[in-house]
Amino acid sequence: MMRYSALSLLGNAFSKNKNWKPAWRNPDPKPHYDVIIIGGGGHGLATAYYLSKVFGVRNVAVLEKGYLGSGNIGRNTTIIRSNYLLQGNNPFYEFSMKLWEGLEQDFNFNAMVSQRGVINLFHSDAQRDAYTRRGNAMRLHGVDADLLGRDQLREKLPFLDYENARFPIMGGLMQKRGGTVRHDAVAWGFARGADQHGVDIIQNCEVTAIDREGDQVTGVQTTRGAIKCNKIGMAVAGNSSHVAGMVDMRLPIESHALQAFVSEGLKPFIDTVVTFGAGHFYVSQSDKGGLVFGGDIEGYNSYAQRGNLACVEHVAEAGMAMIPALSRVRILRSWGGIMDMSMDGTPIMDRTHLGNLYFNGGWCYGGFKATPASGYCFAHLLAKDEPHETATEFRMDRFARGYLLDEKGVGAQANLH
Amino acid sequence: MTSFRIEGGTLIDRNDVRSFTFNGTKLSGFAGDTVASALLANGKQVVGRSFKYHRPRGILSAGAAEPNALLTIGRDGRRDPNTRATIAELFDGLEARSQNCWPNVDFDVGAVNGLLGPFLGAGFYYKTFMWPAAFWEKVYEPIIRKAAGLGRAGYDPDPAYYEKCWAHCDVLVIGAGPSGLAAALTAGRSGARVIIADEGGQLGGGILAEGGMIGDKPADATLADIVGELHALPNVEIKTRTTIFGAYDDQVFGAVERVQKHLPESAINPDRAMERLWRIVAKHTILATGAEERPIVFGGNDRPGVMMAGAMRTYLNAFGVAPGKRVALFANNNQAYQTAIDLEARGIEVAAIIDPRTCPNTRYQGKARHIAGAMVRDTDGRKGIKSITVRHDDGRDEVINVDALAVSGGYSPIVHLACHRGAKPVWSDQHAGFMPPETSDGMTPAGAVAGNVGIASCFDAGAKAAVAALDALGFSAQPANLLGSDKSDDIRQDIVALWSVPSSMGKAFVDYQNDVTAGDINLAMREGYDHVELAKRYTTNGMATDQGKTSNVNAIGILAENKGVSPGEIGTTTFRPFYTPVSFGALVGASKGFEFQPVRKSPLHGWAVRNGAKFVETGLWYRSSWFPKDGETFWRDSVDREVLNVRSNVGICDVSTLGKIEIFGADAAEFLNRVYCNAFLKLPVGKARYGIMLREDGLVYDDGTTSCLAENHYFMTTTTALAAGVLTHLEFCAQVLWPDLDVRMASATDQWAQMAIAGPKTRDVLSQIIDDDISNEAFPFLAAREVSMFGGRLKGRLFRISFSGELAFEIAVPAGYGESVADAIMAAGKEHGIAPYGTEALGVMRIEKGHVTHAEINGTVTPADLGMGRMVSVKKDDFIGQVMNLREGLVDPSRPALVGIKPKSPSDKFATGSHILNVGDEVSLENDQGYVTSMCHSPNLGHAIGLALVKGGPERYGEEVVIWNGLAGSAVAGIICNPAFVDPENEKLHA
Amino acid sequence: MSSLVKCPHCGLRPREEFAIRGEVATPRPKAGADESAWFDHVYLRDNPRGEHREYWHHAGGCRRWLVLSRNTVTHDISDVVDASTLKVGGDA
């Protein structure tokens, strides 16, 4: 397998780039694997990568119904951050941030991790108090957090509406280490790394049934035939209920569509990630110049990767309320992903009622930033049959037992999280 | 004028000269020109630079697909970056500038990137910039980010006005070319409500580029007849300069109308919209969007002077602009030959027609040399094309000198709107293109988008599609015959697909704007990115501002050829809104700036203004937060005074924003008993009760008081924040959970002005305006009933409730009387020292009393956490949240519970949002004991006080802890205490 | 069909007028039901790809709660009824 280096670049430049090798193999499925990961998106590929690289489990297949990275890893707003409030969440997302920070060297692929900072604006005393509580929770865990006043914001973000805003900006909570990552490259980097460690990434291979014997799973039926295995890990966020339905599991999850957008390419306009506090809007500028932004979910259950016009308008309205200069910026494209919206807004990573079937899902619209840690922790769970120390509270039974991880405090209504 | 403007031009008015500037140079054109046609007429061949290699680029197209000619038009707040010169209509005084070049478009330093080409292949950035490790963030990435983007957006505010509308119709016709016009006329004549929309400034589409005859009449006369009749039909709405940008569920289409974008600043009416967003609801849609001509991928195909054949014809016939003096045509289909015919008709030399097909086009009878079985493999010329290199079928190369090259690789139906809802287009070998999907939801493609070729064929298809649609809608219609004769111009395309010229020299571009070459697509394939979506994402092909209108199908063709499969097997990437980019301004409409959201004002707002209130946004409301008096410069001076005045005299506070719900019905008591966790079944008439409402998950949702005003009539108050939420919740309970209960409810929040009058002298004040006896005996704590006021002139509702902890009443009067009543209370209270108090003072007093608000009721607490566990009924059969409230995690003794907190040293301060740590514990999340939910300065106690949710709760009264605020770098010694800081025995309340 | 909804009381109205709660879960358990029935009702969802019954509230119109039968893949609405007529919420 080919390692990317200054030398390989130089050599290939002189050979007109004719000698680059495939980034991954395109194998046929073997009859049996130690572990099958269902879902070749970011989380599934990351799981396979860490399983093979860190935990030494190499007889692994990732089964992807479409092309690798065809799920939400390729349709999000590319934001990474670890600005979480609750004890069950904060260490996990910080673990993820640390993995992001070393990822490029780790998998020898430049995913363009850009720690340009994430700023959450607040517009009222109550919001400031909530962000103070959050920022202090971060600081307690050693995560960087700063509370910025209006003047500091003006310096960093001169284009916000300070003069005529309906909801005047009071300040912001900043995480300097937050930022963005080139989303597709994350999938490719993990895929290439997993492949190098022997993982079979099998595309165009849709799982149609999960085979069971008693309280164990034995393999899967796919559009490319039956495959046996010792363990199955599900990483199909967006479609979790559908796949779980194959083994008669009902989940505390609803699937919802979330739109995201990109503007035409602009010269440098906005230097950090900024989120609005008086409406649903978050924005950053890609390395190519497009403003990448999003808002709220559509509100109704959907498996169609598209949204509606009303939501587009709401997002644009919130955007311009925050940055009036957007008026003449044109929006180029919208896209839609399907979110596993869990009933407390927090993911689930746990064993299931079937002894060797493991579940990873419910990421709501926070799955992208979690990709490396989700992979690492799910690999830990699959390899050692016990949760990683930062993912002990993502349990399936927390709903029944009342140990909820509800960052927003809105309760058991999926579309409010 | 330069020599590029020749006679003719159906769209321009030579009597109306328009001057404009391009990169500061003064130029002129005519009314009817686009910026592109005017630039071409002025001999401006290089108009922009490409994204990666900064190659000089000219005008490729004459429409929405333009990948190269992106200009910044206008300045300051009216600056439009990335505007396609091919769409922008010329107006007097227009200022256009090239983008992505420095110092200028003719000499661009960034072109040095071209020399680095071998290193900058597809996806190069994923393989590099990683050494040394620290350099990516510090060195490489900032450079890349600086190079990002095309045009520059300004930070100036946009002075223009925007608006949004709905429109409804029976038939929506998208596109006003021949098929669209025929469909609209057919539908219009039937009496159906018709909307026909076209992105151009004039109806006509492809007809506008026709120089010759349509049937027996000149093309422009035919068009004038059709347009005239459409304008005369009252049931037909014509929307020009209107782009349908997205197809959404239920035949709802998003459209943007560029109402005044084509006008000079001096002619813009500031009261009219600059752009208007339309949401068009159609019963049936005729998709008459036409087809996009495709380039061919060959070496040097991006050199200025290389132009789409159809675009060249448009510039010639519609704008009277010659592309050059000696032109060649490179085409693989018959329709493109019309360009050669028209060029020759205007006396422009066609040096050669290079056609990769071996069978010559028998319809072409012109003078040009016809080279069959040949391809263009290279072009030459520094800033513009000087020659082409042709590879003959025998392998021989020939250089032909030309100053323009027309290219046509076939036609891609513009299927976007048929695919926005997820349907996939269908590959057709016959048309060498992806055709619209079979859709069943009321959309019929007609004309070039469906593969029709030629005006007559499109007329026919449009009319027939409309008849079928109208029939299904119940209109009787006859197909409009627009040709005037039966003569058909049925053209056979005989297209033979050609994606990429195999013998290409140098860079052969697929995506012009993003500088993606055929080599890049091949590299992506070699590296395993061979799925069409992966190839797109790896190379960025099709991700430029034209969204691949000219590049996607060629990329698919190249992938298919390399894999040896049909393009249909490769498939397309996903079609998504927006068809062409849409401004934020248009999508936002009037909801901007201060008008982003409406303002709600209390019925007492005017009273508060007159009393000097400072206001604070609370949701949509403006609430009076404090009332500064002369000499008070710091907010807390006012707040402290207001608090002390209430505690010693009397104050008045506007509480109108609290949610108010009237509840009626024989089962109203039973209903309340089920929605509150505490008992309500036996609340007597004339009494109020504090209630806690849980969610079904057992956590606290909201609190408030509900009063029984009469048998089967209750009046509920909610918090300001959840007024709407609680009503919705109650409606859910009544309509969905218990539809058999006889209960009805309505919001009365805006119907009542409500004010709290609090303080030991309250009764002295209120007894002056309330006729009823309000002594403690006659009107004890929690009494609630209607009272007579002002000697019987007004009825109000009086409630003996208190948030401040003082002797207090709340009086509600019909909203229109609010200000008068407040004034009367102020007058009556003058001698008792009455003063208005705002939400800040209210907040201080409730913290002093340990009363909770949504700072504590944060969606994660139980009644027990708030010290109100005993309120939860253990007797009731059923109430919302009853069972889930008992879950293990919700009764866990380690849950944080409400306490008071104060600094050990009275001079110390602390902030809400601080966390609590045990003394001596290491600072860590594991050691977190809880957090401060509210704090204030208590003027009664003279130091800071707060409420907190802390593990162990009331068991820890008296314990010293650390109030830790890492954000502020502070750690203060604090004492946990009873949250009732003032009057814990409630003596004042019952006075 | 998730741009326009045919309210049985108000006719065809835009999606913006509605608030959406989510799936029509198992009926609300009767008094005395055990915790697992409640857990199922409050938290578990079928969340199917395809036909789905869900609560929409005509907040900007008649303020009635409706039950939509809607396809989660095509978004086509096959039925809209006033929720009170279905007694889907349980009868505790």
Contact C21 A412 (CB under 8 A): no
Chain A residues within 8 A of C19 when measuring between CB atoms: 299
Whether residue A402 lies within 8 A of chain C, CB to CB, comes out as: no
Residue among A17, A196, A413 with most chain B CBs within 10 A, to mutate: A17
Q: What is the 3-state secondary structure (H, E, C) of A4-40?
A: CCHHHHHHHHHCCCCCCCCCCCCCCCCCEEEEEEECC
Cα(B34)–Cα(B319) distance, integer angstroms: 9
Cβ contact, residue pair B252, C4, below 8 Å? yes
Minimal CA separation from C66 to chain B, in Å: 9
What is the rounded CA–CA span in Å between residue B287 and residue B346?
34
> In this model, does residue A344 exceed pLDDT 80?
yes
CB pairs under 8 A between A and B: 361
| Residue B132: per-residue pLDDT | 76
pLDDT digits (tens, 9 = 90+) for B704-739: 999 999 999 999 999 999 999 999 999 999 999 999
Closest CA to A328 of B548, B245, B49, B151: B151
Is C75 touching B (CB cutoff 8 A)? Answer: yes
Residues of B in contact with A135 (CB under 8 A): 913, 966-967
Please identify among residues 793-852 of chain B the ones whose CB lies closer than 8 Å to any CB of chain A: none
Searching chain B, which residue's CA lies closest to the CA of residue A25?
A: B528
Residue numbers of A between 185 and 244 with CB closer than 8 Å to C: 239, 241-242
**What pLDDT digit, counting tens, does each position of A216-229 carry?**
999 999 999 999 99
Which residue of B249, B587, B736 is the best one to mutate when testing the C interface, meaning the one whose CB has the most C CBs within 10 A?
B736
- Where does CATH 2.40.30.110 sit in chain B? 893-991
B878 touches chain C (CB under 8 A): yes
- Chain B positions in Cβ-Cβ contact with residue C82 (cut-off 8 Å): 735
> Cβ contacts (< 8 Å) between B883 and chain C: which residues?
29, 33, 35, 38
How far away is chain A from the Cα of C73, in angstroms, using its nearest Cα?
5
Q: Say yes or no to pLDDT of B783 above 60.
A: yes
Please name which of B563, B551, B553, B498 lies closest in space to residue B524, comparing C-alpha atoms. Answer: B563
Long-range contact pairs involving B865-870 (C-beta distance under 8 Å, separation at least 24): B865/B895, B865/B896, B865/B897, B865/B898, B865/B949, B865/B953, B866/B700, B866/B897, B866/B898, B867/B897, B867/B898, B867/B953, B867/B954, B867/B979, B868/B692
- Residue C47 pLDDT > 50: yes
Best residue of C21, C34, C43 to probe chain A, by most A CBs closer than 10 Å: C43
My answer on whether omega of the bond before A372 falls inside 30° of 0, hence cis, is no
Which phi and psi (to 5°) does residue B637 adopt? -60, -45
pLDDT computed for residue A1 by the predictor = 59
Question: Would the CB atoms of A301 and C47 count as touching at under 8 Å?
Answer: yes
d(CA A127, CA A133): 10
d(CA B569, CA B575): 17
C45 inside 8 A of chain A by CB: yes
CATH 1.10.1740.10 holds for B162-291+414-473: no
CB contacts, 8 Å: C42 with chain A: 343, 399, 412
Residue B241 has pLDDT above 80, yes or no: yes
Q: What confidence tens digit (pLDDT) does each residue in B868-884 have?
A: 999 999 999 999 999 99
Give the domain ranges of chain C: 4-85
Nearest chain A Cα distance for residue B498, angstroms = 23
The overall average pLDDT reported for chain A is 96
CB pair distance less than 8 Å for B860 and A404: yes
A400 touching C (Cβ < 8 Å): yes
Distance from CA of B725 to the nearest CA of C (A): 10
Cβ distance of B740 and C59 shorter than 8 Å: no
A69–B966 C-beta distance less than 8 A: no
To the nearest whole angstrom, how far is the Cα of C18 from the nearest Cα of chain A?
A: 10
pLDDT tens sequence across B354-372: 999 997 677 788 999 999 9
pLDDT at C92: 45
The pLDDT of B4-12, averaged and rounded, is 94
Is the CB of residue B948 less than 8 Å from the CB of residue B879? no
Residue in chain C lying closest to B724 (CA): C59
> Which one of A255, A303, A308 has the shortest CB-CB distance to C15?
A308
pTM for the model stands at 0.96
HSE (side-chain half, CA atoms, 13 Å) at A362: 27
Q: Which pLDDT does position B262 carry in this prediction?
A: 96
| Contacts A245 to C, Cβ<8 Å | 46, 48
Please tell me the distance from the alpha carbon of residue B129 to that of residue C51, in angstroms, as a whole number.
49
For the segment B746-758, the average pLDDT, to the nearest whole number, is 98
* pLDDT of residue B467 exceeding 90: yes
Fold exhibited by the domain B1-156: Ubiquitin-like (UB roll) (3.10.20)
Which residues from chain A sit within 8 angstroms of residue B158, using beta carbons?
324-325, 327-328
B124, B156, B911: residue with CB nearest A132: B911
Q: Which residue in the set C3, C23, C39 is minimally distant from A309, CB to CB?
A: C3
> CB distance B149–A403 less than 8 Å?
no
| Whether A304 and C39 lie within 8 Å, measured CB to CB | no
CATH class of B600-657+751-845: alpha beta
Please give, one letter per residue, the 3-state secondary structure of B743-770. Answer: CEEEECHHHEEEEEEECCCHHHHHCCCE
CATH code of the region B508-570? 1.10.10
Write out the CATH class of domain B661-749: alpha beta
Look over chain B and give the mean of its residue pLDDT values, rounded to a whole number: 95
C74 touches chain A (CB under 8 A): yes
A 327-366 near C (Cβ less than 8 A) = 343
Q: Is the pLDDT of residue B487 over 60?
A: no
Burial of B614 (0-12, 13-18, 19+ CB in 10 A): middle
Instruction: Indicate whether A126 pLDDT > 90.
Output: yes
Within 8 A of A298 by CB-CB distance, chain C residues are: 2
* B742 at C interface, C-beta within 8 A: no
Q: Which residue of A has its CA nearest to B581?
A: A332
**Number of neighbouring beta carbons within 10 Å of residue B596:** 22
Q: How confident is the model at residue B484 (pLDDT cuts 50, 70, 90)?
A: low
List CB contacts (< 8 A) between A417 and chain C: none
Half-sphere exposure of B745 (CA within 13 A, CB side): 30
C-alpha closest to that of A336 among C2, B255, B891, B453 = C2
Q: Is B740 within 8 Å of C91 when comparing Cβ atoms?
A: yes
Q: Please give the Cα distance from B266 to B276 (Å, whole number).
A: 20
Radius of gyration, CA atoms only, chain B: 38
Regarding an ipTM greater than 0.90, the answer is: yes
3-state secondary structure of B800: coil
Q: What CATH topology corresponds to C4-85?
A: Folate-binding fold (3.30.2270)
Q: How many CB atoms are closer than 10 A to CB B920?
A: 7
Mutation for testing the C interface, residue in B735, B743, B747, B890 having most C CBs under 10 Å: B735
Summarize pLDDT for B446-459 with one digit per residue, the tens: 999 999 999 999 99
Query: What is the C-alpha to C-alpha distance for residues B435 and B415, in angstroms, rounded to an integer?
Result: 7
- Which residues of chain A neighbour B922 with C-beta distances below 8 Å? none
Q: Taking 60 as the threshold, does the pLDDT of residue B529 lie above it?
A: yes
Query: What's the pLDDT at B564?
Result: 96
Q: Which residue of A has its CA nearest to B860?
A: A409
Within chain B, all domains assigned CATH 3.50.50.60 are found at: 162-291+414-473, 295-409
Mean pLDDT, rounded, for B815-842 = 98
Mean pLDDT of B937-953: 98
Q: Within an 8 Å CB–CB cutoff, is residue C55 touching chain B?
A: yes
Minimum Cα–Cα distance from B423: chain A residue: A304
Question: Is C22 in Cβ contact with A250 (below 8 Å)?
Answer: no
| Structure tokens belonging to residue A417 | 């999280």
Q: Does B82 sit within 8 Å of A411, measured CB to CB?
A: no
The length of chain B in residues reads 991
Rounded to whole angstroms, how far apart are CA atoms B892 and B901? 22
pLDDT digits (tens, 9 = 90+) for B549-565: 999 999 999 999 999 99
Q: Is B877 in the C-facing interface, judged by CB distances under 8 Å?
A: yes
Q: Tokens 């009443």 appear where?
A: B809
Using the predicted structure, report yes or no on whether residue B469 has a pLDDT greater than 60: yes
Q: Specify the CATH number of the domain B295-409.
A: 3.50.50.60
Architecture in CATH of B893-991: Beta Barrel (2.40)
Q: What percent of chain B has pLDDT over 90?
A: 89
> Partners for B (CB, 8 Å, 3+ pairs)?
A, C
Per DSSP, B532 falls in state: H
When mean pLDDT is compared across A69-83, A393-407, B98-112, B762-776, the lowest value belongs to B98-112
